[in-house]
Amino acid sequence: MKAVASVLPFRVNDYVLEELIDWSDIPGDPMYQLTFPQPGMLRLTDYARMLGLVRRGASRAEIKTAARRIQFTLNPHPAGQLELNVPRVGGAPVPGIQHKYRETVLFFPAAGQTCHTYCTYCFRWAQFVGINELRFAGRESQALADYLRDQPQVTSVLFTGGDPLVMKTSVLRRYVEPLLDPSLEHVGSIRIGTKALAYWPYRFVTDPDADDLLRLFEDVRKAGKHIAVMAHYSHPRELAPDIAQEAVKRVQDAGATVRCQAPLIRRVNDSADLWADMWRRQVRLGAVPYYMFVERDTGPKNYFEVPLVRAWEIFIGAYQQVSGLARTARGPSMSATPGKVLVAGVATVQGEDVIVLRFLQARDPDWVGRPFFAKLDRDATWLDDLTPAFGEKEFFFEPGLRELDAAQRRVRMHEIETGALA
């Protein structure tokens, strides 16, 4: 475990250890797989290299150097997060902000760049390994508000990380309260992406500032804005403890909506019955099933990935078991470079077996909702693995995506030439 954890971050708390993991089923227990590094998460050669260093008692510096080489090969920031998502004002990147979709801004508060427990599948693992150039983090709460004043098309802000709810409420409040100013009336909703409801429900119940956190939610509602807690539930077991259910109720009583999302993860939740069970539990608690994601092409992806066709079969298998109240879930969805791509099904069109796809969200709003087709490939696990159907040379969005990338490069070059980055 030390060999893998030297490359991929590891952290676990007492609640996960005592309440969620079935220690009689190790290593197969899904919650253990979800939180403890496994040898198969690294390529055989990389694992052998790290294991050799650990066994011979190599220095910390030597282990760190070897780990860094591996980390930079693991696609630490997929889908253009560094190249395409970071806005620039006055020739400089805006710290801690990603603005991929027109209506939504993501903010990474500096004090929220860790988690109560790390998920082994996490696509944001690069935030936790101590490489500053790979971290998104914003320290200035006013900088976010100032940026939003110049972006009237933005209607929603998502606080993410890491996990914003590792912060004390007093710190979180300093980021949230400026968004309640009347000058930001166009920002109608505030979202908080968190695993705390699953991994540390005491945050909402018995922590010293739990009541203040709920008052903050109430203040957002009193300001006329929607507040949503984007809960990452990966397995029904996370919803079972009484304290977990009490935490959901307290969040809802404070006026916040709980929306539930997670990736489809091999060895953890790759079962239609399990997803149906999880969605039913969420609905029973008054929470809203929201997304089933496809595991991203980063970190230990090969250990967890599920082929896209199989992912769609699991989604449909679960969808068919639940009532309309649980059919708010969307998926399986890939958060790829051009946008959120839904795997809508498998079909035969014009005599060709195809995978049907469409954008739920996109860098270019004109792409949203537009169906497109890939040749049927039962082994494909990501958008980049797919080939356009019907003899097309490329998917319809690819020319536009190239232009967006070229435009970004032109802006960057202009800034360098004019000294705007000085």
Cα separation of 363 and 404, whole Å? 9
Asked if the structure places residue 13 within a domain, the reply is yes
CB 138 within 8 A of CB 110: yes
**Claim: this prediction has a pTM higher than 0.85:** yes
Each residue's pLDDT tens digit, 367-397:
999 999 999 999 999 999 999 999 999 999 9
Cα separation of 194 and 159, whole Å? 9
Asked if the structure places residue 273 within a domain, the reply is no
- Residues with Cβ < 8 Å from 234, sequence gap 6 or more? 34, 119, 198, 262, 263, 265, 268, 269
CA angle 366, 407, 388 (to 5 degrees): 50
Asked if the structure places residue 56 within a domain, the reply is yes
Each residue's pLDDT tens digit, 245-273:
999 999 999 999 999 999 999 999 999 99
Residue 339 has pLDDT above 90, yes or no: yes
Cα separation of 24 and 278, whole Å? 22
- For the chain, first and last CA: distance in Å? 44
Last residue of a domain, one of 71, 98, 125: 71
Long-range contacts of 379-382 (CB under 8 A, 24+ apart): 379/307, 380/307, 380/308, 380/309, 380/355, 381/294, 381/295, 381/297, 381/301, 381/305, 381/306, 381/307, 381/308, 382/294, 382/297, 382/305, 382/308, 382/334, 382/336
Asked if the structure places residue 354 within a domain, the reply is yes
Each residue's pLDDT tens digit, 168-205:
999 999 999 999 999 999 999 999 999 999 999 999 99
Last residue of a domain, one of 31, 50, 71: 71
Residue scoring higher pLDDT (298 or 213)? 213
Asked if the structure places residue 278 within a domain, the reply is no
List the domain range (segments joined by +) for residue 54. 2-71
What's the rounded mean pLDDT across residues 59-70? 85
Helix, strand, or coil (residue 380): coil
Give percent of the chain with pLDDT exceeding 90. Answer: 66
Would you state the pLDDT for residue 416? 45
Would you state the pLDDT for residue 44? 87
Residue 314 has pLDDT above 70, yes or no: yes
For the CA atoms of 145, 147, 152, 154, the dihedral, rounded to the nearest 10 degrees, stands at -80
Asked if the structure places residue 404 within a domain, the reply is yes
What's the rounded mean pLDDT across residues 329-337? 95
CB 88 within 8 A of CB 411: yes
| Closest to 357 (Cα-Cα) out of 375, 83, 365, 254 | 375
Asked if the structure places residue 149 within a domain, the reply is no
Pairing of strands 226-232, 189-194: parallel
pLDDT band at 362 (very low <50, low <70, confident <90, very high): very high
What's the rounded mean pLDDT across residues 320-349? 96
Asked if the structure places residue 67 within a domain, the reply is yes
Q: Lowest-confidence range among 49-63, 170-184, 280-294, 350-364? A: 49-63
| Closest to 291 (Cα-Cα) out of 307, 278, 309, 304 | 278
Task: List the strands of the sheet with 104-107, edge to edge.
Answer: 97-101, 104-107, 156-159, 189-194, 226-232, 257-264, 288-294, 330-335, 339-349, 352-362, 371-375
Each residue's pLDDT tens digit, 205-247:
999 999 999 999 999 999 999 999 999 999 999 999 999 999 9
Residue scoring higher pLDDT (416 or 149)? 149
Residue 285 has pLDDT above 90, yes or no: yes
For the CA atoms of 122, 76, 189, 250, the dihedral, rounded to the nearest 10 degrees, stands at 20
Last residue of a domain, one of 48, 71, 94: 71
DSSP structure string for 174-194: HHHGGGGSGGGTT--EEEEEE
Would you state the pLDDT for residue 328? 98
Q: Which residues make beta-bridge pairs with 356?
A: 345, 373
- Total structural domains in the chain? 2
